[in-house]
Structure 1
């Protein structure tokens, strides 16, 4: 299974399948790592769905709110608990033609707004769930040269 461990299955709801993503393809992620290194990514289709929904919800409030709206919906649909990622660093992976990345694909499972570990560490109790539901990708093999930080 490579880097994919039984613990990774807890982040998925329903069936999980192995994938090969052949380039050209573009993937996205928020990361706490300054170079964007990490396994969890989303497809361009999922990115555009979240982006378009965030624009629709924030248009009346003005253009400066779209970044916050996108981050809020990203957290909601990808079930990113508040203590897991601050969603400040945004990255794009461009898989070139002739290359491929491998991993796993499945729908995001709901998660606590703050993880159990986070609630214990910060001595807080926050109830509520992030619903998840979109497709997420867990990549085991890709080239770090394909990743670049992008402004968002």
Structure 2
């Protein structure tokens, strides 16, 4: 074994030119907002349609951003990472570790703007079913009288 994590892919350097809508992606993570358990890294949450990242095509949702313009993103709070991106200038060099196929802790389709309604509905239905069953059980057990 070479010491790298199973499923880890080689780092990739990506040059992006900031467009009218910025770099065209949202980030998650940091020491104060971990995206993956025991990982303080910064990750791509959402690629914006027709943004610089989408037009380039190499950056993907779930990729870990290791550095921006040579500044490593290790052990930074989320807000500090955001500031680095905001102040990166027009031509931005990213060092990225592509998403591992084995990564399962984060959402399959990360979103920077909250949970998908379709992923929340089954949980609501399950909770509602539990309440109804609990109520029915209480009425059934409560209606039995000892002989």
Using structure 2 for the length normalisation, give the TM-score.
0.29
Q: Per residue, is there more strand in 1 or in 2? A: 1
Using structure 1 for the length normalisation, give the TM-score.
0.28
Higher relative contact order (CA 8 A, sep 6+): 1
| Higher radius of gyration, 1 or 2 | 2
